[in-house]
Amino acid sequence: MTALARPTHGRMIGGVCASLAHRFGTSATKMRMIFVVSCLLPGPQFLLYIALWVLLPSEDKVRRAW
């Protein structure tokens, strides 16, 4: 597993799904579909997505820190 950071390439909106897909070793498309299907269920999915978008650092910032 790798560090959790939003990628600079291959992201659609905020890069949260692409980041989670990279972290757990699955495709970004599959992770996006899981998110869309989960939005049909009751819960704070949109709030969680926005919180991760704000809290996760961008990949280029993580590279500069190392």
CA–CA separation, 60 and 25 (whole Å): 20
For the CA atoms of 41, 46, 49, 55, what is the dihedral angle to 10 degrees?
Answer: -140
- Domains of the chain, by residue range, sit at 16-65
E runs forming strands in 10-59: none
**What pLDDT tens digit does each residue of the chain (66 aa) get?**
467 888 888 788 888 999 999 899 999 999 999 999 999 999 999 999 999 999 998 887 776 766
For the CA atoms of 10, 11, 12, 13, what is the dihedral angle to 10 degrees?
Answer: -170
Instruction: List the beta bridge partners of residue 58.
Output: 6
